[in-house]
A and B are shown apart, each in its own frame.
Chain A
């Protein structure tokens, strides 16, 4: 029978303790990972402690639901601060007592979100014992290449704490997999996505570029290879991997040339129940040439909605509007305003639609100009307009605030800010 369960690495904490236990450069040739942990921390005054497990060093996009028994009761709760509630004994536990923990991570090389199961027990002393079952999710499609374990309260794991990382392969074979079949490469911005047809008994696949030998790894098709140079033509070959080796490389894919994205999403605001008294986009990156704001919006009562830049509420805005109301066309001006009225509908109408272009927003030699297409409908009447707006300030735009004049923007209003590059 093939050896499909292998110890990959063991960490034993030495004298002086350690604040972290890290497994890095985890091979991408297994299907699942298993960590076995025997842990005690120096958490003062408590017989118990929790552990946190951070994949790829990330402490974000983590969530968990745990069921915890502690002798005199049971509790269950959610947590987003890290993975793996329960898992270590604390300093006031019976001397030389350590916990007994398993962390199981299936499909760690896959392109789906990663689930972790943590089963942890610690028989701490005559009056305290913990049994924790924890379901965890890392909402990331990135393959796991490292795992960091830290005490929740610690601050350190004490001497003799041990952790072993195992690789588990889910097929009873002892030979490398067959060669996969290359599919179609599609270019993106500094990257490419390549499809392929997989083979049996493969734990992962490695896609390699020519030129550059830049690789991407995953468990399913397609695989994205990042770090490519825009303007350079690439082909790709794929091979399959398992604990017993790798296949030969496939034939080369079609040639593709990555190109920079000229239009990118920066941020979105979707207004929830209760509405919003303002909409803000802050810390706008300066890496674009132009900005575009697209929205649908409705207010609870009639009135204006103003756009302001960098929090400027002074009378530094002017605008002119060419508009039609269904029966006539008019043009009007508004100078010396403390914002440019970009409009919304009220509850007697339908949601207004608008596209606003803000050109050259980082240029410090120009006042900021906007151009707006806008329309709102009141069951047949309504208004459409083309508006020019000017913010009399040459500062680079770093934030945008939309403020209704007296009432809230209602639920289901939706605002999206995009960046546009010129090269």
Chain B
């Protein structure tokens, strides 16, 4: 039986970059999983966001997200949501120093169907350490569009990804 978990493309940055875009994604899979690892930012703390679209990314106010997580600055977990915003979200808090790295798996389930809004699940973590914004997060983003997703852009809300950050897109195909 052929493998149904297929790497589509993988990029490790050789220099700092403000965003990564995956375009012309084949619609032949059932789900997509975007895995990023060893992601660090060149300065400051920032959420890591994404936008999706068909042909080009949707920059309109067509995203909702809901986050639950915990961070090292507090023993109290947090939950947060935003409605009709311009960005989807992988993780709300990420590294504040270059010594901390973030990772995430973002699940684009049934991404190419053209009848439902897209529900996108992300589970993310930032190196646990002494910094305020390390922790774990689980996020659901809704993209208010029934269009198939064939373009994904991922970027820090501020700052840039540093060299060594790796982004891999996988396709999963159901029977």
Chain A contacts to B: CB under 8 angstroms: 188-189, 191, 261-268, 294-296, 298, 322-329, 350-355, 373-377, 379-386, 412, 414, 416, 418
Shortest distance between the CB of A390 and any CB in chain B (Å): 20
Report B56-90 residues with CB < 8 Å from chain A CB: 64-70, 76-84
Q: Complex: how many Å from CA A265 to CA B175? A: 5
Give the residue among A267, A294, A374 with the most B Cβ atoms within 10 A: A294
Q: Which residues of A contact B5 (CB under 8 A)?
A: 261-263, 418
Q: Which residues of A contact B64 (CB under 8 A)?
A: 377, 379-380, 382
Please determine whether A377 and B142 come into contact, CB atoms closer than 8 angstroms: yes
Residue of A nearest to B79 (CB): A324
Complex partner residue of B113 from A189, A377, A412, CB under 8 angstroms: A412
Please determine whether B120 and A265 come into contact, CB atoms closer than 8 angstroms: no
Q: Complex: how many Å from CA A386 to CA B124? A: 12
Q: Which residues of B contact A414 (CB under 8 A)?
A: 30, 109-110, 113
Please determine whether A381 and B110 come into contact, CB atoms closer than 8 angstroms: no
Q: Complex: how many Å from CA A375 to CA B117? A: 13
With A296-B110, A386-B68 known, 13 other A-B pairs at CB within 8 A are A263-B172, A322-B68, A324-B79, A326-B79, A329-B76, A350-B142, A355-B107, A379-B83, A380-B84, A381-B66, A385-B68, A386-B138, A412-B113
Please determine whether B109 and A296 come into contact, CB atoms closer than 8 angstroms: yes
Please determine whether B30 and A416 come into contact, CB atoms closer than 8 angstroms: yes
Q: Complex: how many Å from CA A289 to CA B65? A: 34
Q: Complex: how many Å from CA A384 to CA B142? A: 12
Q: Complex: how many Å from CA A402 to CA B2? A: 27
List of 4 A-B pairs having minimum Cβ-Cβ separation, nearest first: A324-B68, A375-B140, A380-B83, A324-B79
Q: Complex: how many Å from CA A379 to CA B110? A: 20
Complex partner residue of B4 from A263, A298, A383, A384, CB under 8 angstroms: A263
Report B83-122 residues with CB < 8 Å from chain A CB: 83-84, 107, 109-110, 113, 115-117, 119-121
Residue of B nearest to A345 (CB): B119
Shortest distance between the CB of A230 and any CB in chain B (Å): 12
Please determine whether A267 and B84 come into contact, CB atoms closer than 8 angstroms: no
Please determine whether B174 and A354 come into contact, CB atoms closer than 8 angstroms: no
Q: Complex: how many Å from CA A56 to CA B28? A: 28
Q: Does B49 contact A (CB under 8 A)?
A: no
Q: Which residues of A contact B116 (CB under 8 A)?
A: 296, 298, 350-351, 412
Q: Which residues of A contact B172 (CB under 8 A)?
A: 263, 265, 294, 416, 418
Q: Complex: how many Å from CA A327 to CA B173? A: 36
Please determine whether B66 and A353 come into contact, CB atoms closer than 8 angstroms: no
Please determine whether A264 and B1 come into contact, CB atoms closer than 8 angstroms: yes
Shortest distance between the CB of A194 and any CB in chain B (Å): 15
Please determine whether A373 and B115 come into contact, CB atoms closer than 8 angstroms: no
Shortest distance between the CB of B35 and any CB in chain A (Å): 13
Give the residue among B66, B80, B82, B138 with the most A Cβ atoms within 10 A: B66
Q: Which residues of A contact B117 (CB under 8 A)?
A: 350-351
Also in contact, A377 and B119, with CB within 8 A (given A261-B4, A264-B1):
yes
Please determine whether A375 and B77 come into contact, CB atoms closer than 8 angstroms: no
Please determine whether B142 and A189 come into contact, CB atoms closer than 8 angstroms: no
Q: Which residues of B contact A380 (CB under 8 A)?
A: 64, 66, 81-84
Residue of A nearest to B142 (CB): A377
Q: Which residues of A contact B30 (CB under 8 A)?
A: 268, 294, 414, 416
Please determine whether A353 and B140 come into contact, CB atoms closer than 8 angstroms: yes
Q: Which residues of B contact A189 (CB under 8 A)?
A: 1-3
Report B120-163 residues with CB < 8 Å from chain A CB: 120-121, 123, 138-142, 144
Also in contact, A324 and B78, with CB within 8 A (given A264-B4, A295-B109, A353-B119):
yes
Please determine whether B138 and A353 come into contact, CB atoms closer than 8 angstroms: no
Q: Complex: how many Å from CA A385 to CA B77? A: 13
Q: Complex: how many Å from CA A47 to CA B123? A: 69
Q: Complex: how many Å from CA A382 to CA B78? A: 14
